[in-house]
Structure 1
Amino acid sequence: MRGDWASLSSRGVINLRRRRSLRRQLLVVCCGRRQDEEDTTTTLAPCGGGAVSETKNVVQKDAEFDVTYNDTVTSDNQTIYAFNHTVSRNKTEGVHVSVDVLSQALESPFLFVVRQKHGVLSFQVPLILRGLYQRKYTYSHVGRTLCQPPTRAASETQYFFLDVSTLSSLGTNYQLRVSRVERFTLLTDTKFSFTASPSQPQYFKYDFPDGVDTVIVKVNSDMDFPCSVMSIQDIQCPVYDLDNNVAFIGMYQTMTKKGAITVQRKDFPSNSFYVVVVVKTEDEACGGPLRFYPLRPNELIDAGNRSKVLDVVVSPAINSKVYVMGMLFCLGIFFSFYLLTFFMACLENKQMSKKRDVFPIPADTSPAETASLLGTNGDGKTAASPYEYGSFADNGSTLSSEAITDSATSTDNNYGYLERSLDSVGRSRQESLSSVEEDDYDTLDDINSDKNIVRTKKFLCVSDLARKDKRILSKKYQIYFWNIATIAVFYALPVVQLVITYQTVVNVTGNQDICYYNFLCAHPLGALSAFNNILSNLGYVMLGLLFLLIVLKRDIVHNRALVRNDLHAHECGIPKHFGLYYAMGTALMMEGLLSACYHVCPNYTNFQFDTSFMYMIAGLCMLKLYQKRHPDINASAYTAYACLAAVIFFSVLGVVFGRGNTVFWIVFSVIHILATLLLSTQLYYMGRWRLDSGVLRRMVNIIYTDSIRQCSGPMYIDRMVLLVMGNIVNWSLAAYGLIERPNDFASYLLAIGICNLLLYFAFYIIMKLRSGERIKCLPLVCILFTAVVWGFALYFFFQGLSTWQKTPAESREHNRDCILLSFFDDHDIWHFLSSIAMFGSFLVLLTMDDDLDTVQRDKIYVF
């Protein structure tokens, strides 16, 4: 064994003398052992690189605060500065160490080691920090604040030592200054200004006052750049206050001009925390450009001046009373709609009972007598004739024989109608339950021929497009509800799971750049970071449920009328099909649920959660408008949802690939225009056309025979006006998207749907009035009320309190304080108003044609 040890020592693998010397050095540097006199030891290089000095002269000096020391250090000597200061339990002071290197070219860096009672802080000068692409920035001026943990004694004297060493053989000058930070503890509602840089981070302490459980820390600056990071950390050593370690613990977020973090007492057992502000070495995290690239790998770059002036304010957040008031306010607003609806229902039932008492209908009333009553509309006036309706289209010209035939048919006296008996019109309950398939009609050649004859008439009535069996159509439109209910379940479950994961990641990592909140008005509750943004979506759910209840009441009343063979229900008014209404109400409720899920952690990866059912609502409303006058030829649920799925698919593609991608915008614009043309053709010919290899030949023949050879105008002038305006709007939107390429593709796509819905709705209202119909008081009030609410809602929507199209730091520049009850911000008010506006829009669709409930369907015109 002795021979083996001697052989190892002879080969230089183990040197006992160096081992003893290294042990003494570690005791001095790492264990805080005090040296009372000059000593000569053997040590290893503290900073790496260079040769090992066998002997080093260690000099210890008693140092004082606020004194600048100009000294020289080499590889042969090491200087230790000894400090002592009194720490009080009732007063916390910070200690700041500032170092400047006076030599420009350094052979080796300095190592500064601060040994304290509760820890060790070490840093080198020049300080080297890494940026993007492993670029290295050097800082010759370094300032660090020493961690000061609280003491249990009323007053205690603490010692700390600052060791300076280097491996440079040349004498290098440096300046050292240790000073007290008088304003180390932040006061409530008191602004404090300071300057920070990447090599001189700043942090301060805040103690929760009695009776305050939640505070909001706001850091502001008049300078956009350099990019900064604010962090909230527990009272412990070490404090992570450099760009490369500030994200290790606590909560943190990048900032340019604004930063805000809500802090709760329950998260900090010591009832106090540190506010840490670090200036980053580069600005890419805040949306700034890359200034330059290194010419060579591992090239050292002089960072230059990256100082930033900031101020910090810590203010108490809202208390539990404000939470309760906010929730009661939200519930009170939407419960008032339930009470108003209940009052209106009672009033309507009272009026109906009075009408039945004044105008009782005998049970033995003959069909002729009842039909004579149905020949007039609700106000006792005869409905407008088809000639009057079509005179605008023909400009006073003579009508075609087909039009005259149709006019004569629709304006014929009621004798043909009188011949119908109640037995032929009102089907028995047993027959209505029989199984009838829609294919029984569509597969017959004569029915197809009848479709072509009826749908190509110049003037159509609702009776022409309500020829299919009511039972078949009811089942067809009920599929809309069941399909959207199924979609909602399968869509919502993974969304809920995903946003829970997002919130968990934010809470665990403390990275508040993941979610784009309005941090100046984000009130946490439990694990949720912005409870107010979630609560404000309650209106969509409550008003969607209320709309479903209103539709259910109408559905029950209509079914009872059908059961008692009421001729008004069978032969008058717009055909009552409630499946699309149920789908609309369900979509409104799901919009509230998914919008709440999105606001758990809003960012660009889950924005489609907030918009998917908005697309569905817009599509369902357009389908319902079209169904009112075209019940037989409306799209099936499968086709409609397939188209809406394609819209959502493009929305996701646009969010992911649409930013500045020319190819994507060209492809989307072409698809948008082609889809507009195909839909226009479908609407103009009411589905009686085929998309096959001969479509181009037929188009050329129509253009040649109608436009060139005969110079005749379009046969369906009203539909042509609508479609021309629709194409102008959609082509303009396509051109805008291709030229401007907006970053928010999801909102751009939603704007396309809303513009088309508003255009079609305006056309419907205009044509309804032109046809001699009127709008009752209730829908008229709903239209005016909804228009006003939509105006205010859009105003708050465009305030833009945050935006995921930019970096989190740039998004925080748009943050603003709460404006309603100190609990809700502008976007919450948008949630309130938009839910009310959507509910009002649904009521308009539901009640707009109530004036036709006593008008025969062969006197209600299609447009």
Structure 2
Amino acid sequence: MGLCVCLFHFITPVDAVRVYVNSSSENLQYPVLFVVRQQKGVLSWQVPLIFRGLYQRTYNYQEVSRTLCPSEPTPETGPSDQIIFVDVASMAPFNIAYELLVTRLENFQLETNKAFNFTASPSQPQYFLYKFPQDVDSVIIKVVSDAVYPCSVVSVQDIVCPVYDLDHNVEFNGVYQSMTKQAAITVQRKDFPGEQFFVVFVIKPEDYACGGSVPSSIHGNVNRTWNLQRTKNLQVTIVPSIKKSIYVQAMFFSFLSFLSFYLGSVVVAFVHYIRCVEGFYKNRSGIMTSSHPITASTPEGSSYGAIGMSSSSGGRQLSSPGCGLPAGSDTDSSVEEESDFDTMPEIESDKNVIRTKVFLYLSDLSRKDRRIVSKKYKIYFWNIITIAVFYALPVIQLVITYQTVVNVTGNQDICYYNFLCAHPLGVLSAFNNILSNMGHMLLGFLFLLIVLRRDILHRRAMEMKDIYTLDYGIPKHFGLFYAMGIALMMEGVLSACYHVCPNYSNFQFDTSFMYMIAGLCMLKLYQTRHPDINASAYSAYASFAVVICLAVLGVVFGKNDMWFWVIFSMIHVLASLALSTQIYYMGRFKIDLGIFRRAAMVLYTDCIQQCSRPMYMVGHFSSHAIFGLLYRPRDFASYILGIFICNLLLYLAFYIIMKLRSSEKLLPIPLFCIVATAVVWAAALYFFFQTLSSWEETPAESREKNRPCILLGFFDDHDVWHFLSAAALFFSFLVLLTLDDDLDTVRRDKIPVF
């Protein structure tokens, strides 16, 4: 048992002392106890120093080095002497040799924009002091290492003694992150009343927390070789963060970028209005002298829905297609129901006859009353609003709770940010990731305004009984377009919620409405030439719900479970077959208990009895099921989204090719939108694949992918993806909205179905 008294004299304004001890004794029954008494605190430890890890493993260290909590001299007293007592004791019945060394730290205070290199180990943690300069309100602490392991923890703590610098207590105070090769913590002056803080570096005794393996020790004790490998070289650099003016510039940039889309839309609408006015007066002056353009008779085999009237049709006006005229009240308030038409046996028989023709025209699949069909598609709009409200409210509540937990506990391993470009604002840790989602909301609202304008013009034309609106072109139903606009806005809201605290538990917030957007686009593309037989809103949204459930189950069980992939592939293939069958038979194939008998009969008659070619050109792409079963991708949510997007793109390409093969044209506006969509999507996907974090890995492994900002010093690659994807989705919607504008002067019995 011994006592050592050390006298230390302050020379610099802030000085720190480090105590190093070493003992050759490995007897855990009689450790050597060290107690350091200071003016304002007591620090104690034992040698061998014992750490406990996973599965009750123990890690013993013979060398221990600790930094004593520094005492800063007051301005009144200035530099002074301080006495430090070091008590050494052991209950061993024999002598134990030990080594004690007390040194002054030469580089205890970190400087701004100056890198500092040092070494740490589990039994020899390090911490340093940093003071905010007068003109700096926020700094970023950047820590890098050449080696992935050993796993370490970086902590920022207030100037309080004792300093928590061991593996079992480093999480008790301040803000902390686990680290492999790099870490970054943003610190603001307002969070530290003394305008200074400690940066603490702790090396963990094992690497399990960072995604590494644990030593394969059977008896729970790890050998000395493992402990000697637990040394890590680190470099810390503290740099000033962005100023408040950058926040203002970034917000102005975001608003102005998307307000330019509003300006462009106003210009296009104004030009369209001028052309409509000119066309109206030309028609008005020429209609008295010219004959009615509709003189052709109805083609053979086409009845209801075709055009067979002459220019003597009374009560109908002829104007430029797509240009509405002032009118009175809306006549869409019909109280008729679809059942008034479709429950009659002769109508059902007529459907079976019409839809089994080899060559179908739009007049064959637009036989229902327009008001009834419009009401059917408006249900999409009202249902998605209901879904959005009930989905978004608990999401917002949950992410607020996540952010509160992060702020209160200081555990920055909860959220998977790009910490090298995470700019806090108020209680939000990464305001830039939230701000960049503004584009989805602004462009979604703009798309709703564009659709509303078209809807108003169409209703006015219907009230004026305009011949082009009644009997020409694609039947206009805007319910799905309204639903697409709401879905785009909700994608921005939920993506912003997800980026409040992105992690494994809330990934579905960012993808749910992406599935719905892709599904709604496919439904709209199919509805264009099949207005009478498209899916109902209830079945469509139920299908989206099933997809979201599968996505959640895939993330939870799909990584290593082969049976999940087998079951999912079977569901995928069966669903694809059912959908393809419904499309092929134009909605006249019923899925009930007799489906197997009918399928066997079709196979016998069409494949065995006689080899007949398919009646219609239809296809569904399900090769993704084979790919998923063979490769089992780790990111199941993106895999599901990829299935939707690939099918949408292939269907859109098929639609455009068939449109051109049918001698239809692409007008300048849809052609511009197609080119803009392709270019913007290509740029957006480039930034999407610049992975900056991944909640599929440990937080420390995710931080290895972190990269600095690339736009205005405020936005990172993923923020640019948000900007570009919002614009790409907006242009994609415009493609669907304007793609068939060239058919506004084509009779419906001349428009082929494909």
Could you tell me which residue of structure 1 aligns to residue 85 of structure 2? 161
Structure 2 gaps, min length 5: 319-326
Could you tell me which residue of structure 1 aligns to residue 323 of structure 2? none
Structure 1 gaps, min length 5: 1-77, 377-405
Do residues 224 (structure 1) and 148 (structure 2) align? yes
- Deviation per CA, 1:524-549: give whole Å up to 9, x if none: 00000000000000000000000000
Could you tell me which residue of structure 1 aligns to residue 98 of structure 2? 174
- Deviation per CA, 1:718-767: give whole Å up to 9, x if none: 22xxx1xx33xx1x211221122122111111001001101110110011
Do residues 452 (structure 1) and 343 (structure 2) align? no
- Secondary structure of the 1:163 match is strand
Shift of 1:85: 1.9
Do residues 416 (structure 1) and 338 (structure 2) align? no
Shift of 1:429: 7.0
Mapping of residues 694-733 of structure 1, within 5 Å: 694-716=594-616, 718-719=617-618, 723=619, 726-727=620-621, 730=622, 732-733=623-624
Could you tell me which residue of structure 1 aligns to residue 4 of structure 2? 81
Could you tell me which residue of structure 1 aligns to residue 324 of structure 2? none
Give 1:232's aligned amino acid. Answer: V
Could you tell me which residue of structure 2 aligns to residue 145 of structure 1? 67
Q: Note closer, same or farther for the CA distance 1:300–1:859 as it changes in structure 2 (3 Å cut).
A: closer
Mapping of residues 626-665 of structure 1, within 5 Å: 626-665=526-565
Give 1:750's aligned amino acid. Answer: L
Could you tell me which residue of structure 2 aligns to residue 94 of structure 1? 16
Q: How many residues align?
A: 741
TM-score in terms of structure 2 length: 0.95
- Deviation per CA, 1:447-488: give whole Å up to 9, x if none: 000000011111111111111111111111110000000000
Give me the whole-angstrom Cα distance separating, in 1, the residues matched to 2:109 and 2:330: 83
Q: Note closer, same or farther for the CA distance 1:734–1:507 as it changes in structure 2 (3 Å cut).
A: same
Shift of 1:267: 0.5
Could you tell me which residue of structure 1 aligns to residue 714 of structure 2? 823
Shift of 1:154: 1.9
Mapping of residues 772-811 of structure 1, within 5 Å: 772-811=663-702
Moved more, 570-579 or 431-440: 431-440
Could you tell me which residue of structure 2 aligns to residue 495 of structure 1? 395
Do residues 568 (structure 1) and 459 (structure 2) align? no
Give me the whole-angstrom Cα distance separating, in 1, the residues matched to 2:600 and 2:504: 46
- The one of 437, 460, 468 aligned to 2:337: 437
Q: Note closer, same or farther for the CA distance 1:431–1:798 as it changes in structure 2 (3 Å cut).
A: closer
Shift of 1:422: 3.9
Shift of 1:708: 3.1
* Contact 1:286–1:807, Cα closer than 8 Å, also in 2: yes
Do residues 860 (structure 1) and 751 (structure 2) align? yes
Do residues 753 (structure 1) and 644 (structure 2) align? yes
- Secondary structure of the 2:506 match is coil
Give me the whole-angstrom Cα distance separating, in 2, the residues matched to 1:285 and 1:532: 28
Give 1:331's aligned amino acid. Answer: F
- Secondary structure of the 1:605 match is helix
Give me the whole-angstrom Cα distance separating, in 1, the residues matched to 2:689 and 2:140: 26
Give 1:81's aligned amino acid. Answer: C
* Contact 2:140–2:184, Cα closer than 8 Å, also in 1: yes
Do residues 342 (structure 1) and 285 (structure 2) align? no
Give me the whole-angstrom Cα distance separating, in 2, the residues matched to 1:231 and 1:87: 27
Shift of 1:420: 8.1
Shift of 1:657: 1.8
Give me the whole-angstrom Cα distance separating, in 1, the residues matched to 2:104 and 2:332: 91
TM-score in terms of structure 1 length: 0.83
Shift of 1:425: 11
Could you tell me which residue of structure 1 aligns to residue 724 of structure 2? 833
- The one of 442, 456, 467 aligned to 1:556: 456
Could you tell me which residue of structure 2 aligns to residue 30 of structure 1? none
Give me the whole-angstrom Cα distance separating, in 1, the residues matched to 2:461 and 2:716: 48
Give 1:742's aligned amino acid. Answer: P
Give 2:10's aligned amino acid. Answer: V
Could you tell me which residue of structure 2 aligns to residue 486 of structure 1? 386
Give me the whole-angstrom Cα distance separating, in 2, the residues matched to 1:86 and 1:456: 100
Give me the whole-angstrom Cα distance separating, in 2, the residues matched to 1:363 and 1:428: 23
- Secondary structure of the 1:338 match is helix
Shift of 1:698: 2.6
Could you tell me which residue of structure 2 aligns to residue 124 of structure 1? 46
- The one of 116, 133, 139 aligned to 1:192: 116
Shift of 1:363: 8.3
* Contact 1:113–1:123, Cα closer than 8 Å, also in 2: yes
Shift of 1:431: 6.7
Give me the whole-angstrom Cα distance separating, in 2, the residues matched to 1:411 and 1:633: 18
Do residues 114 (structure 1) and 5 (structure 2) align? no
Could you tell me which residue of structure 2 aligns to residue 738 of structure 1? 629
Mapping of residues 123-522 of structure 1, within 5 Å: 123-152=45-74, 153-295=77-219, 302=224, 303-305=226-228, 306-360=230-284, 369=292, 371-372=294-295, 408-409=300-301, 416-418=308-310, 421-422=313-314, 432-522=332-422
Moved more, 808-817 or 663-672: 663-672
Give me the whole-angstrom Cα distance separating, in 1, the residues matched to 2:257 and 2:730: 13
- Secondary structure of the 1:817 match is coil
Mapping of residues 16-55 of structure 1, within 5 Å: none
Shift of 1:709: 3.0
Could you tell me which residue of structure 2 aligns to residue 24 of structure 1? none
Give me the whole-angstrom Cα distance separating, in 1, the residues matched to 2:285 and 2:211: 75
* Contact 2:13–2:73, Cα closer than 8 Å, also in 1: no
Q: Note closer, same or farther for the CA distance 1:449–1:126 as it changes in structure 2 (3 Å cut).
A: same
Q: Note closer, same or farther for the CA distance 1:100–1:575 as it changes in structure 2 (3 Å cut).
A: same
Give me the whole-angstrom Cα distance separating, in 1, the residues matched to 2:548 and 2:285: 52
Could you tell me which residue of structure 1 aligns to residue 511 of structure 2? 611
Q: Note closer, same or farther for the CA distance 1:415–1:349 as it changes in structure 2 (3 Å cut).
A: closer
* Contact 1:422–1:565, Cα closer than 8 Å, also in 2: no
* Contact 2:472–2:747, Cα closer than 8 Å, also in 1: yes
* Contact 2:110–2:128, Cα closer than 8 Å, also in 1: yes
Could you tell me which residue of structure 2 aligns to residue 762 of structure 1? 653
Give 1:552's aligned amino acid. Answer: L
Give me the whole-angstrom Cα distance separating, in 1, the residues matched to 2:533 and 2:217: 63
* Contact 1:474–1:579, Cα closer than 8 Å, also in 2: yes
* Contact 1:595–1:609, Cα closer than 8 Å, also in 2: yes
Q: Note closer, same or farther for the CA distance 1:436–1:596 as it changes in structure 2 (3 Å cut).
A: same
* Contact 1:410–1:859, Cα closer than 8 Å, also in 2: no
Give 1:261's aligned amino acid. Answer: I
- Deviation per CA, 1:682-714: give whole Å up to 9, x if none: 111111112233333333332333333332211
Give me the whole-angstrom Cα distance separating, in 1, the residues matched to 2:117 and 2:307: 91
Could you tell me which residue of structure 1 aligns to residue 733 of structure 2? 842
* Contact 1:214–1:265, Cα closer than 8 Å, also in 2: yes
**Percent identity at matched positions?**
59
Shift of 1:365: 9.4
Q: State the superposition RMSD in angstroms.
A: 2.2
- Secondary structure of the 1:750 match is helix
Q: Note closer, same or farther for the CA distance 1:476–1:779 as it changes in structure 2 (3 Å cut).
A: same
Could you tell me which residue of structure 2 aligns to residue 533 of structure 1? 433
Could you tell me which residue of structure 2 aligns to residue 72 of structure 1? none
- Deviation per CA, 1:770-813: give whole Å up to 9, x if none: 11100100100110011011001000000100000100000000
Give me the whole-angstrom Cα distance separating, in 1, the residues matched to 2:681 and 2:637: 20
* Contact 1:219–1:312, Cα closer than 8 Å, also in 2: yes
* Contact 1:540–1:592, Cα closer than 8 Å, also in 2: yes
